[in-house]
Structures are given as structure tokens and as C-alpha cells.
Amino acid sequence: MASPSPLLEWLICLFGWGNSEVHLSTISKADAVRRTDAPDAIVLGAGVVGMATAYALARGGMSVMLVDKAPEPGRGTSFANGAQLSYAYTDALASPALMARLPALALALDPAFRLRPSIDPDFLHWIVAFLRNCTAAAFRENTLAGLELALESRSSLHELLARHPLEFGHTRPGKLHLYEDERSFAAAREVLLLKRRAGVVQEALTPGETVAVEPALAARGHRLVGAIHSPEEEVGDPFLFCRALLQTLREHYGLRSSFGMAVRRLELDGSKPAVVMDDGDRIEAENLVICAGVDAPDLLRGTGIKVPIWPMKGHSLTAPAGPEAPQVSITDVARKLVFCRLSGMIRVAGLADLGTRVAAVQPDRLASLVSAAKEALPDAAEYERIELSWAGLRPMTPSSLPIIRRARKGVILNVGHGALGWTYAMGAAERAARLLVEQPC
């Protein structure tokens, strides 16, 4: 039986999970077929980062096994995130401006951003490191380092699509960051100058110029002080990307995979690393590449390898486009919202709850997202006809930069991509693959 098209599969997920059971069972049967020879590499995690890493390794000639507890790829934080490939917008979370707002965040006075303090030693170490990154110098360094990775990622994605024209709603509408106060806009213009020197195409616009770029903002023009326009920014559905890339990896690169079974423990003290599954199955490989997002600290517990990752929860909604839906992707800076067109729909994503570990949608927070979206762009979407609501945990590091390094012999980390996992995925994968290809143990 032929598999549904990627678009049909996305629509099945969009309009109801019940119709997707047949395809999920098909995937599980395919994954049950395993070869007995050990792969060159096991990739733990099949979100956008894990899928991109599996591709980078397989393209380099390695045999790869992909392992994920979900029934198919892209079901975690990658499933319904903001969908924007924000190559020009890599501003680190830690900054002097955020430092000044931390008391208000801890008291939940900001409806968009909440900080949940904890006496957990891991959190205390994380927050101390985060505060050290809140200096102006660290913010610039981290932002530019993220920008370098993002531009590598854009090149790598385009090279992938030149070889394998995957279908995942990929377009280049450009992006507008909207500002309603002059102080924030002035700070954004300073960062713009830094990025221009790195080769990024951006410009600061007046309110009138902003409306000329996106006429759907006409009713809001009087509230703006300006915008930053990034005309080369892209969008794409990360879930469909994962599904399409999995098919390509199976057909062209002999990828093996194990879905729907959690990892019980890692064994890293032998001659080769191994993964022990919940059913007792033990999978050994020459190398283990961990791309497990917020699950990485728990997976690594007891191995002596620590990663400073803390969860930051976000929500999204996907609804039919409204009468004034923007063509250009929008980031509302004051409300910390993103809007983009995606396969004929509008996706709105936002909110940041740092320290929350439950990934389920919270009705009150979803209501806050809807309310903020209506305030920002009341006619962008048919908010009464939300087809998909979602929440996910972003794996944040204190610097907002991913951890891509060799942890020990045969173990590579590719974790901590924060809110930019979709943006960083392809470039981070290439860096992780180079650690194995160019610097073997």
C-alpha cells in the first residue's frame, strides 16, 4: 500500500489523530526489521536535530541507526513549533535587558515569559551560568556565534534540497520584527549593525515602510515605531521535514530505525557504546550521537557526562488564515509571538515558561497565546477555528548555544538548541558529523 503524501499526512495530524493510526502501525512494522550487524553510529533522538544528524552521518558514508521513544520522527519539540527558519535572528536569551527583568519574571508579572525558580542543584548551576551570560559582551559573542551556525545551517539545508527535493512547505517569505517602543528598536538597530558585518541582509524600516512590505499591518501601523526586515528568512514545517527525510534516508542511505521504545540506560564503559531499550534489547555501535533535547540530562545521568540544559516551554496554534493574514513572517517583539503562513494555514507560536517539565498543552497558557495573538493581529487567523494546539519543551543552555562536542570515546553530544533547533539543525548536524569523520577516536 502506498504511503500518503507528506501534505496528506500533515492534514491527517491537523484534523484528527484517529485517522493516523493505520500509518503509524505501518511505520512500526517497518522499524521492527533489524539487521544483526552493528551500525557505525546510533543517533538518539529523531527530532529535526536528530534527523539532520542521521543524514549528515549517512551522507558521509556511515551506517546509521536512529532511535526514538516516539512512534515516528518529529513528534516532540519539533512537531508544531514556530516553523520559522530564523537564520538572521539568533539573539541570545541571556542579555542585560533580560537581567533587569528577572525579578518580574520570577513573580510571573510578564504574561509571555515566566520563570519557575527551583532548589534543584542542576537549576542553581544553570541559573548562575545564565546570569554570567547576561553581560553585553557575552550577549554579543553568543549572538554572533549563533549567527555563524545559523548561516552554516542555511547552506546545508539548501545543499540537502538540491540533492533531495523534500516537500515540507518550504518557502522564503522574509520576516519582520515589529517594535512598539523606541528603546527596544534602538537596541535592535545596534544588533543589526553587528549582523550586517557578518554578511546578514537586514534593514531598519519606518512604520510606513513596514506597512509597504506587509500591507496586512496597515491597521497596526500607528502603534509601531519601526521594524527590522530580514528578507531572506524562510519557513517550513519541521514535522513534515522529519517525515520526508526519514523516507529519503531509508530509500537512499539504508537507515535503520527503532521507534516507539524508550531507552532504559546507556552503557558507555565498554569497548563500544551501547543502548539498552526498555524491552531489554541491547544495541551496540562504534559511535553514539545524542540528539535527545530536554531528555539528554536524564539519559546521561549516571554516566559522568553532564549537560547544562533546562526546559523552556512554548505553545503554538495552527488555524485557517484570516482576512488580513500576513504573507511575510512576523515576530511581535513586545508580545513575544511569531506568525507565519504554513501550507495554507497560519501558525502562531509563543510564550516562554522556563523550568516547566510537563509538555502537555496548558489551557490557561493557550488562552493567553490566543489573547495575545488577537491583540497583535486580530484578523491574521480564524482564532475560533483552531485546528491544532501544541506545547513543547525547548532545551535551553545558559548561553543559548547548542552543545556540540565529543564527550568521551565514541560519544558525541548535539544537544541544547533552545528555541532555534529548527534553525540550527542542519549546521549543528554537520559539525557533529565532522567530529566523527575528521577526528575519529
Q: pLDDT tens, 100-124?
A: 877 777 777 788 888 887 888 999 9
Beta sheet of 274-277, edge-to-edge order: 263-267, 274-277, 282-284
Which of helix, strand or coil describes residue 399? Answer: coil
pLDDT for position 440: 47
- CA gyration radius, the chain: 21
Question: Which of the four pLDDT bands, split at 50, 70 and 90, describes residue 203?
Answer: very high
pLDDT digits (tens, 9 = 90+) for 229-238: 999 999 999 9
pLDDT in tens, 127-184: 999 999 999 999 999 999 999 999 999 999 999 999 999 999 999 999 999 999 999 9
The region, left, alpha or beta by phi > 0 then psi within -120 to 50, assigned to residue 355 is left
The rounded mean pLDDT for the chain is: 89
Q: Which of the pair, 98 or 47, is modelled with greater confidence?
A: 47
Type of residue found at 424 = Y
Alpha carbon distances (Å) from 17 to 8, 14, 128: 13, 8, 42
Asked if 293 and 393 count as a contact pair (C-beta separation under 8 A), the reply is yes
For residues 29 and 44, the model is more confident at 44
Delineate the domains of the chain, giving CATH numbers in brackets. Answer: 6-79+239-308+401-437 (3.50.50.60), 93-142+169-233+309-396 (3.30.9.10)
Q: How confident is the model at residue 116, as a pLDDT?
A: 81
What letter represents residue 245's amino acid? L
Contacts of 200 (CB under 8 A, 6+ apart): 87, 88, 147, 151, 230
| pLDDT (tens digit per residue) in 379-398 | 999 999 999 999 999 999 99
Residue 404's contacts (CB-CB under 8 Å, 6 or more residues apart) are 412, 413, 414, 428, 431, 432, 435
Half-sphere exposure of 416 (CA within 13 A, CB side): 21
Average pLDDT over residues 238-260: 97
- pTM for the model: 0.90
Q: Give Cβ neighbours of residue 323 (< 8 Å, ≥ 6 apart).
A: 379
